[in-house]
Structure 1
Amino acid sequence: MAILTDIGTLVWGYLVPFLFVLTIVVFFHELGHFLVARWCGVKVAAFSVGFGRELVGFDDRQGTRWKISMIPLGGYVKFAGDDNAASVPDRETIAQMSEEERAGSFYAKSVWRRAAVVAAGPIANFILAIVIFAALFGLYGRTYTVPRVDSVQAESAAAEAGFMPGDVVVSVDGEAIRSFADIQRVVTVSAGVPLNISVERDGKRVDLVATPKLREMTDQFGNAQKVGLLGLRQNTRPDDVYTVAYNPLEAVGEGVKETWYVVARTGSYIGGIFAGRESADQLGGPIRVAQFSGQVATLGLAALLNLAAVLSVSIGLINLMPIPMLDGGHLLFYAYEAAFGRPLPEKVQDFGFRIGLALVFMLMIFATFNDVKHLVGG
Structure 2
Amino acid sequence: MSLLESIGGMIHSAGGYILPFLFVLVIVVFVHELGHFLVGRWCGIKVTAFSIGFGPELFGFNDRHGTRWRFAAIPLGGYVKFFGDSSVASTPDGDAFASMSAADRSKSFHHKKVWQRAAVVAAGPIANFLLAIAVFAAINMAYGRQILVPRIDALVEGGAAAKAGLRANDLVVSIDGRAIDSFQELQRIVSTSPGTPLKLVVERAGKDVDLTVTPELKVLQTPFGKQRLGMLGIQGSRNPADVRNIPMGPVAAVTGAVSEIWFIVERTGAYVGGLFAGTESTDQLSGPIRIAQVSGQVATAGIVALLNLAAILSVSIGLINLVPVPMLDGGHLLFYVFEAVRGRPLSMRTQEFGFRIGLALVLMLMLFTTVNDVLHLVAL
- TM tier, smaller: over 0.9
2:3 is matched with which residue? Answer: none
Question: 2:285 maps to what in 1?
Answer: 283
Partner residue of 2:20 out of 17, 22, 40: 17
**Structure 1: how far apart are the matches of 2:158 and 2:12?**
44
Alignment of structure 1 residues 294-373 onto 2, 5 Å: 294-373=296-375
Deviates more, 1:345-354 or 1:27-36: 345-354
- How many angstroms apart in 2 are the aligned matches of 1:272 and 1:260? 18
What are the Cα deviations for residues 143-196 of structure 1, in whole angstroms up to 9, with x where unaligned?
Answer: 100111122223332222211111111111111111111011111221222111
Once the two structures are superposed, residues 80-121 of structure 1 have per-residue CA deviations (whole angstroms, 9 ceiling, x without a partner) of: 111211112221132343221122111000110000000000
Query: Given the two structures, how large is their TM-score scaled by the length of structure 1?
Result: 0.95
Q: Residues 263-308 of structure 1: CA distance to partner in whole angstroms, max 9, x if unpaired?
A: 1121111111112221111000000100000000000100000000
SS in 2 for 1:50: strand
Counterpart check, 1:88 vs 2:91: yes
Q: How many residues align?
A: 373
Is this contact kept in 1: 2:323–2:330, CA < 8 A? Answer: yes
Residue 216 of structure 1 aligns to a residue whose secondary structure is: strand
Please identify, of 87-96 and 163-172, the stretch whose mean Cα deviation from structure 2 is larger.
87-96
Please, which of 22, 27, 31 is the counterpart of residue 28 of structure 1?
A: 31
* In 1, Cα distance between equivalents of 2:245 and 2:325: 43
Match of 1:169 among 159, 167, 172: 172
Residues 137-146 or 246-255, more deviating: 246-255
Residue aligning to 1:99: 102
Query: Are 2:156 and 1:187 aligned?
Result: no
Give, as a single letter, the amino acid of the residue that structure 2 aligns with 1:50. Answer: G
Q: 235-244 or 54-63: which moved more?
A: 235-244
- Answering whether residue 91 of structure 2 is matched by residue 78 of structure 1, we say no
Say whether residues 1:146 and 2:149 are aligned partners. Answer: yes
User: Which amino acid is the alignment partner of residue 306 of structure 2?
Assistant: L
**What is the rounded CA distance, in whole Å, between the counterparts of 1:212 and 1:53 in structure 2?**
50
TM-score (structure 2 length as normaliser) = 0.95
- What SS does the corresponding residue of 1:166 show, helix, strand or coil? coil
- 1:203 and 1:360 map into 2 onto residues whose CA distance is 55
Equivalence for 1:49: 52
2:275 match? 273
**Distance change >3 Å, CA 55–CA 222, structure 1 → 2:** closer
Partners in 2 of 1:148 and 1:180 — Cα distance?
7
Q: Which moved more, 1:188-197 or 1:295-304?
A: 188-197
SS in 2 for 1:150: strand
Deviation at 1:249, TM superposition (A): 2.3
Query: 1:97, 1:354 → 2: CA distance?
Result: 26
Identity %: 60
**Structure 2 Cα separation of the partners of residues 140 and 189 of structure 1:** 26
- Is the CA contact 1:216–1:227 (under 8 Å) kept in the aligned structure 2? yes
Contact 2:226 2:283 in 1 (8 A): no
Task: Provide the rounded CA distance (Å) in 2 between the counterparts of 1:214 and 1:341.
Answer: 51
On the 8 A contact 1:145/1:236 being kept in 2, the answer is: no
Q: Does 1:239 align with 2:257?
A: no
Say which is worse superposed, 201-210 or 17-26, in terms of deviation: 201-210
* Secondary structure of the structure 2 residue equivalent to 1:196: strand
Kindly provide the CA deviation profile for residues 313-343 of structure 1, in whole angstroms up to 9, marking residues without a partner as x: 0000000001000000000010111112111
Pick the aligned partner of 1:211 from 210, 214, 223.
214
Cα distance, 1:72 vs structure 2: 0.8
Which residue identity is paired with 1:24? I
Q: Given residue 250 of structure 1, which amino acid in structure 2 is its aligned partner?
A: A
Contact conserved, 2:200 with 2:211, CA < 8 A, in 1? yes
Report the AA paired with residue 347 of structure 2.
Answer: P
Measured in 2, the distance between the counterparts of 1:9 and 1:16 equals: 13
CA distance in 1: counterparts of 2:361 and 2:181, whole angstroms: 41
**What is residue 229 of structure 2 aligned with on the other side?**
227
Question: Offset at 1:222?
Answer: 6.5
Does the 8 A contact of 2:141 with 2:253 survive in 1?
yes
Shift of 1:218: 3.8
Q: Residue 224 of structure 1: SS of its match in structure 2?
A: strand
Residue aligned with 1:155, SS: coil
Partner of 2:5: none
Q: Give the 4+ runs in structure 1 shifted more than 4 A.
A: 5-9
**Worse-matched range after superposition: 185-194 or 197-206:** 185-194
Q: Distance in 1 between matches of 2:44 and 2:320?
A: 27
Please report how far the alpha carbon of residue 235 of structure 1 lies from its aligned counterpart in structure 2 after TM superposition. 4.8
Contact map agreement 1:172 1:196 (CA 8 A) in 2: yes
How far apart are residue 349 of structure 1 and its match? 1.4
Alignment check: 8 A CA contact 1:151 1:165 kept: yes
Q: Which runs of 5 or more residues in structure 2 are unaligned?
A: 1-7
CA distance in 2, matches of 1:335, 1:212: 41
Alpha-carbon RMSD across the aligned residues, in angstroms, is 1.6
Contiguous gaps of at least 5 residues in structure 1: none
Q: Distance in 1 between matches of 2:221 and 2:185?
A: 19
Structure 2 counterpart of 1:199, which letter? V
Measured in 1, the distance between the counterparts of 2:12 and 2:184 equals: 32
Q: Distance in 2 between matches of 1:50 and 1:278?
A: 32
Task: From 259, 262, 270, give the equivalent of 1:260.
Answer: 262
